[in-house]
Chain A
Amino acid sequence: MPVEVRLPNILRPLAGGEPVVKAEGATLREVFDDLVSRYPGLEASLFTPEREMHRHLNVFLNDDDVRYLGRLDAKVSESDTVTLMPAVAGGAD
């Protein structure tokens, strides 16, 4: 089941320069594993050495932060969009 993964500027050079890539998987972990198999350079950005989520990476599944949807165990289905964003000082007020 292919899903669309949107990459922020800083990760695009690690994925052939593409802003949007396709990946397969039924969970977010499977999607990330598939991405890394295609673009090995992404490993250190998607995962910690313990293969958990990178602290400074915000991952949204159809706009929803996956931290509240089971993190890497979040269920992913076809036509979902996964958006990756760096954690930065919020706009701010």
Chain B
Amino acid sequence: MARYESVIDTIGNTPLVDVSELSPNPRVTLLIKLEGLNPGGSVKDRAAKYMIEEAEKDGSLRPGQRILESSSGNTAAGLALIAKVKGYPFTAVVPENVSVERVKLLRAFGADIIVSPAAEGSNGAMRRAQALAAEHPEWWFSFQYGNPANPRAHFEGTGPEIWRDCPEVTHFVAGLGTAGTIIGVGTFLKQQNPSVSIWAVQPPAGETVEGLKSLDEGFIPPVFTDNDGYSLLDRSRVVGPRESIEWSRRLAEAGIFAGLSTGAAMAGVARCASEIDEGTIVTISPDGGWKYLSTDAWTGDLDEVVERAKHELYF
């Protein structure tokens, strides 16, 4: 490895690791890109860096200006780290049902934290951040769900890295949150080889979202719709907490200590592998397991852990 001027320069260029021993199909190779090795601990460091640096370039973010974002933790951690290094104050709106480690990590980087109600989920945190942005026009709201720099970080970074390390990729499987990763990587890979298949995985959203009064209040990230996400994807499926946790445990047995959204992605990978004859599937591990140790996901009674996970944002 090299020597770096700044910790920010260590974002990206993450390793792609063969975990084919977990493949349900011996003719399918599985590769997982370990984004938890980014300095802020997740794939979101990439979007955070791009959003801040592009706003610096176009002048919308000025020296010393306060940065605002809503996040269940990972984007906020990336922004908090970069904001600290670059000297911006930072406010994160975080749903109260995220793991305690996420909140402590944000505090470690000096972020101001505003808690939003658990029952309103990420939607509620986003709405609160939008209201704060309207009240404070002097702040800069990065708005990850709609900021084109979010998918661009993956179109210019994550995607090309995957193509460089694995040009034989036939399927790409990733989680759907802001849609930045799957839009950026998926678009790049399809430009290189239109036959690459893009499969999305998402958590079951509905049950815990009590703040929603009608379907019309629903939200599809502009990052997804502005980039014609429905046409880009070839498949999309929902993965519940039980499968996510079971796959996180299997990954640990293969030496990969990853967060629960990685387990969800692996459940999608396993489904994909069992439905195709042969191929090479690449997936993203958004973060490591460290921030979820308090959930006992690896060590607790499976039924109890699953029950708790239904009430916690882990994706």
- When distances are taken between beta carbons in the complex, the residues of chain B under 8 Å from A92 are 71-72, 74-75, 122, 177-178, 313, 315
Q: Is A72 an interface residue (CB 8 A)?
A: no
Cα distance A56–B220 in the bound complex, in angstroms: 8
B126: contacting residue among A58, A89, A93, CB under 8 A = A89
Cα distance A84–B204 in the bound complex, in angstroms: 10
Cα distance A89–B220 in the bound complex, in angstroms: 6
In the complex the two chains form, is B205's CB within 8 Å of A88's CB? yes
Q: Is A60 an interface residue (CB 8 A)?
A: yes
Q: Is A9 an interface residue (CB 8 A)?
A: yes
In the complex the two chains form, is A60's CB within 8 Å of B313's CB? no
- When distances are taken between beta carbons in the complex, the residues of chain A under 8 Å from B202 are 90-91
Q: Is B261 an interface residue (CB 8 A)?
A: yes
B209: contacting residue among A45, A57, A67, A86, CB under 8 A = A86
Q: Is A8 an interface residue (CB 8 A)?
A: yes
Chain A, residues 57-75, CB within 8 Å of chain B (1/0): the string is: 1101001110110000000
Q: Knowing A65-B235, A92-B71 are in contact, say whether A86-B178 is a contact too (CB < 8 A).
A: no
Cα distance A60–B271 in the bound complex, in angstroms: 15
Cα distance A83–B205 in the bound complex, in angstroms: 11
Cα distance A83–B44 in the bound complex, in angstroms: 30
In the complex the two chains form, is B235's CB within 8 Å of A89's CB? no
In the complex the two chains form, is A55's CB within 8 Å of B220's CB? yes
Q: Is A54 an interface residue (CB 8 A)?
A: yes
Cα distance A26–B148 in the bound complex, in angstroms: 41
- When distances are taken between beta carbons in the complex, the residues of chain B under 8 Å from A90 are 122, 175-179, 202-203, 205, 221, 315
Cα distance A9–B209 in the bound complex, in angstroms: 8
Distance (whole angstroms) from the CB of A31 to the closest CB of chain B: 18
Cα distance A79–B87 in the bound complex, in angstroms: 58
Distance (whole angstroms) from the CB of B143 to the closest CB of chain A: 11
Q: Is B215 an interface residue (CB 8 A)?
A: yes
A68: contacting residue among B122, B145, B236, CB under 8 A = B236
Smallest Cβ-Cβ distance to B200: which chain A residue? A65
Q: Knowing A86-B212, A87-B220 are in contact, say whether A65-B236 is a contact too (CB < 8 A).
A: yes
Distance (whole angstroms) from the CB of B66 to the closest CB of chain A: 22
Distance (whole angstroms) from the CB of B179 to the closest CB of chain A: 8
- When distances are taken between beta carbons in the complex, the residues of chain A under 8 Å from B206 are 8-10, 84-86, 88
Smallest Cβ-Cβ distance to A68: which chain B residue? B235
Distance (whole angstroms) from the CB of A71 to the closest CB of chain B: 10
- When distances are taken between beta carbons in the complex, the residues of chain B under 8 Å from A86 are 205-206, 209, 212, 215, 217-218
Q: Knowing A91-B314, A93-B71, A93-B177 are in contact, say whether A56-B216 is a contact too (CB < 8 A).
A: yes
In the complex the two chains form, is B238's CB within 8 Å of A85's CB? yes
Cα distance A8–B206 in the bound complex, in angstroms: 6
Smallest Cβ-Cβ distance to B264: which chain A residue? A91
In the complex the two chains form, is A91's CB within 8 Å of B220's CB? no
Q: Which of B42, B74, B207 has the most CB atoms of chain A within a 10 A radius of its CB?
A: B207
Cα distance A68–B219 in the bound complex, in angstroms: 20
- 5 new A-B contacts, CB < 8 A, other than A91-B261, A92-B71, are A56-B216, A58-B205, A58-B238, A65-B237, A92-B178
4 closest A-B pairs by CB: A91-B315, A56-B218, A8-B206, A65-B236
- Listed by A's residue number, 17 A-B pairs whose Cβ atoms lie within 8 Å are A9-B209, A45-B214, A56-B216, A57-B215, A58-B205, A64-B236, A64-B237, A86-B217, A88-B209, A90-B179, A90-B202, A91-B72, A91-B122, A91-B202, A92-B178, A93-B42, A93-B175
